[in-house]
Chains A and B, each alone.
Chain A
Amino acid sequence: MHELAIAESLLEIVLEEGLRHNLRTVEVIRLQVGALAAVVPEALTFSFEMVSQNTIASGAVLEIETLPVVARCSACEVNFEVENQVFLCARCGQPTLELISGRELSLVNLEGETRDDDGGN
């Protein structure tokens, strides 16, 4: 259940950004999570619901986009999607060591309401 630790880090960043952008509430939190990241979206959502109680992000919806695992073959100079955890070039069969995507654990954007004193912007 390291999703709890990840949820805590996420909340910290969301609250920081909320303060910076003068948000009264945060309603949507969009994340990108690579398929290779050891994160279960349901566990992250559940953990975030717990840690965000009584904050501006309480009740926010986590929209999690899963990114495929893409590797690059340096010999063929092609990118290919890794399936079934086989990191071998689809064209030449050589093992690849270069990962293009799949390990992301990123906050992409937030949606929320600004405070009244924001001048209505």
Chain B
Amino acid sequence: MAEIKVPVVRNILQANERLAAANRKRFDEAGIFVFNLMSSPGAGKTSLLEKTVDGLADRIKMAVIEGDLQCSFDAERIQRKGVQAVQINTDGGCHLDGNMIQIALESLNLNDLDLLIIENVGNLVCPAEFNLGEHEKVMILSVTEGDDKPSKYPLMFQLTSVLLVNKVDLLPHIDCDVAKIRERARQINARQQVFEISCRTGQGLPAWFSWVEQKVKEKKQN
């Protein structure tokens, strides 16, 4: 028996990273664009998906993986639009991980798709740490959450390439300064593209659709 010190140096999340890389390989082989949609609860993820389906389903073949703590309301909302939606119930788990996506992929034929959207569990903290194999991370912040949020959730803002500022139709009624959101977000991640939208009125959505369409086109060409 002896006391020993063992140098290890390993990434704690390496198991998830391996699964995410395997998922990514499958997405790339199928030539599809995949983004991971994250926000706090109630910011409008499912509403954005409904609008995105309405705006793009006539020319882009898409499917949705819905992550939720419980119930399948969100998947049903998407399925009513005639788009394939796979539900993952995390049973209280606060984020999706690479393994859950791998299992969900068994129900999808990627070769029939151009676009796969993964709607993460509503949470601005935990999902940021877990790669799923997606090409881009996209976040929604609704104006009712307040303009101080970028500083409170820096990792989420650091890692996402798109920030959708939703519910801008409510701006006349609340104290939220979108310029402040933009400024704080830029200090954390100057690469992040910002779209101001309202899923209720449709304001700003065409620019978001163009972004998605462009990404889908790039993946098809590769």
Q: How far is the CA of A107 from the CA of B125 in the complex (A)?
A: 21
Task: Check A110/B125 contact, CB under 8 A, given A5-B95, A13-B12.
Answer: no
The distance from the CB of B160 to the nearest CB of chain A, in whole angstroms, is 13
B: which residues have CB within 8 A of A? 1-16, 93-95, 97, 125-126, 128-130, 150-151, 154-156, 158, 184, 186-191
Find out whether the CB atom of B155 lies under 8 angstroms from the CB atom of A38.
Answer: yes
Q: How far is the CA of A111 from the CA of B5 in the complex (A)?
A: 4
Task: Check A120/B94 contact, CB under 8 A, given A2-B129, A9-B13.
Answer: no
Question: Does A37 count as interface, using CB distance less than 8 angstroms?
Answer: yes
Question: Does A42 count as interface, using CB distance less than 8 angstroms?
Answer: no
Task: Check A106/B11 contact, CB under 8 A, given A5-B93, A85-B151, A88-B187.
Answer: yes
Checking A10, A21, A120 against B1 with a beta-carbon cut-off of 8 angstroms, the contacting residue is: A120
Find out whether the CB atom of A110 lies under 8 angstroms from the CB atom of B93.
Answer: no
Find out whether the CB atom of B10 lies under 8 angstroms from the CB atom of A106.
Answer: yes
The distance from the CB of B25 to the nearest CB of chain A, in whole angstroms, is 21
The distance from the CB of B15 to the nearest CB of chain A, in whole angstroms, is 6
Find out whether the CB atom of B11 lies under 8 angstroms from the CB atom of A85.
Answer: no
Chain A contacts with B in 1-28, Cβ cutoff 8 A: 1-2, 5-6, 9-10, 12-13, 17, 21, 23-24
Find out whether the CB atom of A17 lies under 8 angstroms from the CB atom of B129.
Answer: no
Question: Does A86 count as interface, using CB distance less than 8 angstroms?
Answer: yes
Q: Which B residues are CB-close (under 8 A) to A24? A: 1
Q: Which A residues are CB-close (under 8 A) to B14? A: 9, 13
Task: Check A114/B125 contact, CB under 8 A, given A6-B12, A13-B12.
Answer: no
> Known pairs A38-B155, A85-B150, A85-B151. 9 more at Cβ < 8 A?
A2-B94, A13-B8, A24-B1, A36-B158, A87-B187, A106-B10, A112-B6, A116-B1, A121-B4
Question: Does A109 count as interface, using CB distance less than 8 angstroms?
Answer: yes
Find out whether the CB atom of A107 lies under 8 angstroms from the CB atom of B2.
Answer: no
Find out whether the CB atom of B151 lies under 8 angstroms from the CB atom of A109.
Answer: no
The distance from the CB of A119 to the nearest CB of chain B, in whole angstroms, is 9
Q: Which A residues are CB-close (under 8 A) to B150? A: 85
The distance from the CB of B148 to the nearest CB of chain A, in whole angstroms, is 11
Question: Does A97 count as interface, using CB distance less than 8 angstroms?
Answer: yes
Find out whether the CB atom of B129 lies under 8 angstroms from the CB atom of A37.
Answer: yes
Q: How far is the CA of A12 from the CA of B12 in the complex (A)?
A: 9
Q: How far is the CA of A114 from the CA of B6 in the complex (A)?
A: 11
Checking A17, A105, A120 against B8 with a beta-carbon cut-off of 8 angstroms, the contacting residue is: A17
Give the interface centre of B8, B16, B93, B97 by most chain A CB atoms within 10 Å.
Answer: B8
The distance from the CB of B14 to the nearest CB of chain A, in whole angstroms, is 8
